[in-house]
Chains A and B, each alone.
Chain A
Amino acid sequence: MTLSMKNVSKVYKEGDSQIIALDQVSMEVASGEFVAIIGPSGSGKSTFLSIAGALLKPSQGEVKIDNKDISKIKDKELSNLRLQEIGFILQTSNLMPYLNVLDNLLLLKKMSGKVTKQDIAFAKELLKELGLGSKFEKFPNELSGGERQRVAIARSFMNDSSLILADEPTASLDTNRANEVVSLISKEVKARGKAAIMVTHDERMLAYCDRVYRMEDGKLTLQ
């Protein structure tokens, strides 16, 4: 199982009051599965994704990514875990503005060491698959929103990590573009055998997903 979360809770303490952002949530995602989470604002979707993505430690429960228990991993090694095991697709403007498209992908390789010829070839291949074959040298501000999001998708696959997490990847896109982007995510997930979770507000995107969960007041239910 690529991602396995058991009875995970997250409590935010603010002064005397407590916010239970996640309440005994469990989920398993295997490779090749594309799962969606929908739910109203403030229901805990981003919190869930942050925990699944090793950005946040749960207050309670167990999180395993590729059978590694993240509560047993030191903080310092968490960034490396994120780098190697998780691909993030974030809402907007998450590309480095001063790096061109290709360099934005290669940045991930730089973080873990040297960039090899194979890495460059792989990055170009990914970009071509996502229809960006002619944009290698472009800077993010020279791309449309949809193109930018496609670069972000390519980046999330760059390290060949087993888990892809997307937080409202279509929020800033119109319907056509959103469809295009989500279908590309779905295609890559299937083709490369990744486990993927997408948080979305957009019900029309659910057709691309294998399973759909609803989050409400920190509780997760399968639809």
Chain B
Amino acid sequence: MFLALKELKHGKLRFTMIGLIIILIAWLVFILSGLGNGLSTLSAATIKNWEAEHVVYENGAGATFSKSLLSQSLQSKIEAQPGVEEVAPFSQSVIAILPIDGVAEGEDKVDAALLGIEAGSFLHPEVIEGKAVDPKIKNGVVANITLKNTNGYEIGDSVAIDGSELNAEIIGFVKNETFNHLPSLFANMDFVREYKYSAPGSNNGVEDAINAFAILGKDVDAAQIEKEVDGVEVVTKSAAINGMPGYTAENGTIMMMLVFLIVISAFVIAVFFYVLTIQKTQQFGVMKAIGASNGFIAKAIVSQVFVLSFFSILLGIGLTYLTAMVFPEEMPFNLDPVLVIIYGIVLLVISVGSSLFSVRRISKIDPLTALGRVE
């Protein structure tokens, strides 16, 4: 630490510049991971928020809600399976809503995800304003708060559902609930059914049609349920999230970008420290000649890199939060503190790890370089 800090202090300009590079890299990594996280939240926040461990689909649906059609009558049979604590039916449909008296000049219809649940079910998120879904108010819907903040809808507003005769009434708001990148609109299952299956035959003849069941229970045996209940497939919640249309591709793209970014920054950082070390070959030779062990020099290098990277990454995080403040609200930016810590540690490990290349180089320096040479 002694050498490391003294040198940092002495070479302020040089180390400020290297620090700056690390700050910029950290900044980029955090911004990108925030955007990625934001996007993937947007595409499946409602499912991610579920407490459920498993989801039941129609066999062959490939964990995609829109491809799955089940009868709600299966519920009691699933409930009877070992380990199952609670079962909740779920149904979804993509709709567009508009004010009941038509779209005014300069306004747009709003896309939304109409999600059918049973009142009081564990799939109902916490209401932050107004009331929860209530069977007594058949057409009452609870909307994501963006419908208020961005689109100006208020509690008590009646909205028409595009392409149908049905009207819904907004009775409450929830937050951070999106589905397929669309704001969620929670409604009574019966209401959703009435909208989805109004045309004869559109339910494929399935009675009380729904899309899927969510299962609560830690010790659920998915294979067992598939065996006992005809025509279903049971997957974990994370598989259900991955089954959301576009989710895997979208996440894959972002992950790929992040991985490349991290690998490339590893190289950049490693090269920087390596060049820095090579410049000091003569110095290290002298140190070795006067008795420094490899360990002593290695510690000096690694601790220096550690200190430099640690504070640069901290600054990078700070910078990211500052940037996040000026991002427009619609920007899907969601910086998960856990992710920040993980990526922060990854970056730190990378820079310290890359300095080990330099350390290897040092251990090969011959202390003889110090003797009989004029610089």
Binding site for B on A (CB under 8 A): 45-46, 49-50, 53, 55-56, 76, 79-84, 86-88, 90-94, 96-99, 103, 107-108, 110-112, 139, 155-156, 159, 167-168, 171-172
Q: Are B283 and A92 touching (Cβ within 8 A)?
A: no
Give Cα A87–Cα B296 distance, bound, in whole angstroms: 18
- Contact mask B307-339 → A, CB, 8 Å, 1/0? 000000000000000000000000000000000
A46, A139, A155 — most chain B CB neighbours (10 Å): A46
- Contact mask B1-35 → A, CB, 8 Å, 1/0? 01100110111000000000000000000000000
Q: B296 contacts which of A56, A111, A155 (Cβ < 8 Å)?
A: A111
Q: Are A167 and B371 touching (Cβ within 8 A)?
A: yes
B372 contacts which chain A residues (CB < 8 A)? 45-46, 49, 91, 167-168
Q: Are B288 and A79 touching (Cβ within 8 A)?
A: yes
Q: Are A90 and B6 touching (Cβ within 8 A)?
A: no
Give Cα A156–Cα B370 distance, bound, in whole angstroms: 14
Q: Are A91 and B291 touching (Cβ within 8 A)?
A: no
Q: Are B375 and A98 touching (Cβ within 8 A)?
A: no
Which chain B residues in 353-369 approach chain A with CB under 8 Å?
367-368
B7, B10, B296, B367 — most chain A CB neighbours (10 Å): B367
Cross-chain pair count, CB within 8 angstroms: 89
Give Cα A4–Cα B296 distance, bound, in whole angstroms: 29
Give Cα A154–Cα B282 distance, bound, in whole angstroms: 20
Binding site for A on B (CB under 8 A): 2-3, 6-7, 9-11, 282-283, 286-294, 296, 367-368, 370-375
- Known contacts A49-B371, A171-B374; A111 and B291 CB within 8 A of each other: yes
Nearest CB in chain A: distance from B153 CB, A: 64
Give Cα A49–Cα B370 distance, bound, in whole angstroms: 12
Q: Are B292 and A99 touching (Cβ within 8 A)?
A: no
- Known contacts A92-B374, A111-B296; A55 and B289 CB within 8 A of each other: yes
Q: A98 contacts which of B11, B293, B374 (Cβ < 8 Å)?
A: B11
Chain A residue nearest to B283 in the complex (CB): A96
Q: Are B371 and A139 touching (Cβ within 8 A)?
A: no
Chain B residue nearest to A81 in the complex (CB): B291
Q: A83 contacts which of B9, B11, B292, B373 (Cβ < 8 Å)?
A: B292
Nearest CB in chain B: distance from A128 CB, A: 22
Give Cα A155–Cα B283 distance, bound, in whole angstroms: 15
A49 contacts which chain B residues (CB < 8 A)? 371-372
- Known contacts A97-B10, A98-B11, A107-B3; A90 and B293 CB within 8 A of each other: no
B290 contacts which chain A residues (CB < 8 A)? 82-83, 87-88, 94, 108, 155-156
Q: Are B291 and A82 touching (Cβ within 8 A)?
A: yes
